[in-house]
Amino acid sequence: MTMEFDYERSDAWATLLRLASSVARLKVVSNLKAAGEAHQQAFLAAGRACSIFAEASLKEGGAQAGALREARSAVAHCRAWLQVMLAVANEPESTVGAELALTEQVSRQLEAMIRLAERGQRTGGRQPAPARSAPAPARGGRP
């Protein structure tokens, strides 16, 4: 199944960009080299997630679902590096609360896209039937 999509118009893309730009703007208040390195790794992981997501739009079927999983994994790495940065700098989680919330949001968005790609793959490329607004009439024409 080809689940081609204009990635630049998707909510997940917008959230990924917000995450990457938000992580880039973070101010590391610690003088420790490890905190700066963790911040850099978080930004790189967010950028990697953006790149992989864009590439997923060019793939089909299982390859697309796999690329979306890889993007979700990069988001998880970003989250982990943010937590490392907090631990090293001895800062409260609220310091990067917005960024952590964005990682959760985009993970949910990517999970929904993965399920959609997998559903299309199982149905052999057929889209599910649209939901009906009224129940179908019973056999014989009676409601």
- How far, in Å, CA of 76 to CA of 45, rounded? 8
Give the residue extent of every domain in the chain: 7-127
Rounded mean pLDDT, 89-106: 96
Pairwise pLDDT comparison (56 vs 4), residue with the higher score? 56
Question: In this model, does residue 4 exceed pLDDT 80?
Answer: no
Distant-in-sequence contacts of 118-122, Cβ < 8 A, 24+ apart: 118/65, 120/1, 120/3, 120/61, 121/1, 121/61, 121/62, 121/65
Q: Name the one residue in this structure whose structure tokens are 């703007």.
A: 25
Which CATH architecture best describes the domain 7-127? Up-down Bundle (1.20)
pLDDT of res. 61: 81
Residues 29-60 pLDDT 10s? 888 999 999 999 999 999 999 999 999 989 88
pLDDT tens-digit series, residues 70-96 = 999 999 999 999 999 999 999 999 999
